[in-house]
Amino acid sequence: MSGALEELAELATSAGLRIGGTTVQHLPEPDAATLIGRGKVEQVRVAAGAAGAGCVVFASDLTATQLRNLENALNFKVIDRTQLILDIFARRARTREGKLQVELAQLSYLLPRLAGRGTLLSRLGGGVGTRGPGEQQLEFDRRRVRARIKRLRDELERVRSQRALHRSRRAERRFAQVALVGYTNAGKSTLFNRLTGAQALTSPRLFATLDPLVRALQLPSRRRVLLSDTVGFIRHLPPHLATAFRATFEELHSADLLLHVSDASRPDRAEQNGAVESLLDEMGLASTPRLHVWNKADLAGDEFLRCFPPGGTDIEVSALTGLGTDNLIRRIDEVLAKDPVVEAEFDLAAADGQGWALLHRVGHVISARFAGSRVFVRAEVPESVRARLAGPRQRWAQRSSP
């Protein structure tokens, strides 16, 4: 089975379908009317009927004409690759933002395919669909879809503004930000849970995670960074999804470090990595520092793992067993320089339990000297913590830690 067909089967399984059979058609050029040609259509119709199929899934995107002709000729429900991905996204969306993004992608895909779909939109509003699928009904449906798309975009714009506000607040606190990226089902959520102790959903099915999650991660230097888990990438990401999930992908632009997570056990890992790198380049993230995390190293051969010298940007881990994750955290600590550890002296009120606890939690206290109602503490802390505790009466002497 080819890589594209194997991936289509994984998508279908993730959508809850059972595979009854597969077939491949080789043509010099796609058939304008049916994509695969009339002879192949008849072959598919017979095979689908023999298998007791309920629908036929195509690996390529179909035009409105092809979709209509195939459904009429096959007498089965026909789904193309983008529709399959949109269905998976609709099943996975849990937050309001995720549902808005999925609906926008669905309607953007549907709009140019309304012609010939009859009363397709009758479910979207009461009273619609009582007339025939004539030109008047088609224009009415198009106006309704365009109006809904505009409302969705306006709502998502508000989401973008809220996300921008959250990012600016994080920037003010000077926390470095690390983002997990990679092909869908590479194990990003399992790694996210392993590193942060979170309870994010993990599943062997594609696109198990849609809504971005952000959690704090403490590094060996006692600095804290923010680690985010985002939706997985896929080859030939449908443009409707890329547009709809722009608010989610914008989290990547504020990252100081990207962790590109790959499934080391997959034979097509090179193709998957190429698809991820291509999408990152399209997003303008080619220059963002990154570490390449080869997950599922316990399932990969020793010969593959020996390809990577120690101390490089390639790190082997197993998110499931914890193998190599300590080394990954150390490498993140080494690469990030936005929040360096500094040695500073703090003048705190003796009753300032919150500041005292913060120094012990995220720093290394070297000495403490009490004088009346004040306490003078020398500690090694991240620069962000030093800036947070500095005040009008704060005296501190700073030098870089060795």
Among 28-42, 251-265, 286-300, the range with the most confident prediction by mean pLDDT is 28-42
Q: Is the pLDDT of residue 41 over 90?
A: yes
Is the pLDDT at 252 greater than 60, yes or no? Answer: yes
373 against 395, higher pLDDT: 373
- Interior angle at CA 39, CA 1 and CA 118, nearest 5: 95
pLDDT, mean of residues 241-270: 79
pLDDT at residue 260, as a whole number: 94
pLDDT range class, residue 36, cuts 50, 70, 90:
very high
Per-residue pLDDT, averaged over 186-198, amounts to 88
Give pLDDT, residue 205: 54
Residues 236-259, mean pLDDT to the nearest whole number: 73
Contact in structure between 298 and 265 (CB atoms under 8 Å): no
**CB 378 within 8 Å of CB 347:** no
pLDDT over 70, % of the chain: 77
Place of tokens 């939109």: 121
**pLDDT at 295 exceeding the cut of 90:** yes
> How much is the average pLDDT of 113-118?
60
| More confident of the two residues 101 and 315 | 315
Segment 117-131 shows an average pLDDT of 41
Whether the per-residue pLDDT at 312 is higher than 90: the answer is no
Give Cβ neighbours of residue 236 (< 8 Å, ≥ 6 apart). 81, 275
Handedness of CA 307, 313, 319, 323 (dihedral sign): positive
Better-scored residue on pLDDT, 201 or 270: 270
Identify which of 332, 354, 355 has the alpha carbon closest to the alpha carbon of residue 217: 332
**pLDDT at 261 (0 to 100):** 94
CA 216 to CA 198: how far, in whole Å? 10
Q: d(Cα 48, Cα 21) in Å, to the nearest integer? A: 8
| Residue 90 confidence class, pLDDT cut points 50, 70, 90 | confident
Using an 8 Å Cβ cutoff, are 52 and 79 in contact? no
- Percentage of the chain exceeding pLDDT 90: 17
- pLDDT given for residue 311 in this prediction: 64
Of 69-73, 79-83, 100-104, which has the strongest mean pLDDT? 69-73
**Better-scored residue on pLDDT, 130 or 116:** 116
Q: Of the ranges 119-128, 204-213, 231-240, 363-372, which one carries the lowest mean pLDDT score?
A: 119-128
With a cut of 60, say whether residue 278 has pLDDT above it: yes
Name, of 11-15, 24-28, 112-116, the range with top average pLDDT: 24-28
Summarize the confidence of residues 8-29 as an average pLDDT. Answer: 87
- If one compares 374 and 400, the residue with the highest pLDDT of the two is 374
- For the chain, what is the mean pLDDT? 79
Question: Which of 87-96, 153-162, 235-244, 314-323 has the highest average model confidence (pLDDT)?
Answer: 314-323
pLDDT at residue 126 greater than cutoff 80: no
**Largest separation between any pair of C-alpha atoms in the chain:** 93
Residue 380 confidence class, pLDDT cut points 50, 70, 90 = confident
Residue 384 reports pLDDT greater than 50:
yes
pLDDT tier, 339 (very low <50, low <70, confident <90, very high otherwise): low
Residue 165 pLDDT exceeds 80? no
Q: Residue 45 above 90 pLDDT?
A: yes
- Are 76 and 54 spatial neighbours (Cβ–Cβ below 8 Å)? yes
Q: Residue 160's CB: how many other CB atoms inside 10 A?
A: 15
Evaluate if residue 43 carries a pLDDT over 60: yes
206-222 confidence digits (pLDDT tens): 555 556 678 889 888 88
Residue 108's pLDDT band (cuts 50, 70, 90) = confident
Three-class SS state of 3: helix
What pLDDT, on a 0 to 100 scale, did the predictor assign at position 332? Answer: 92
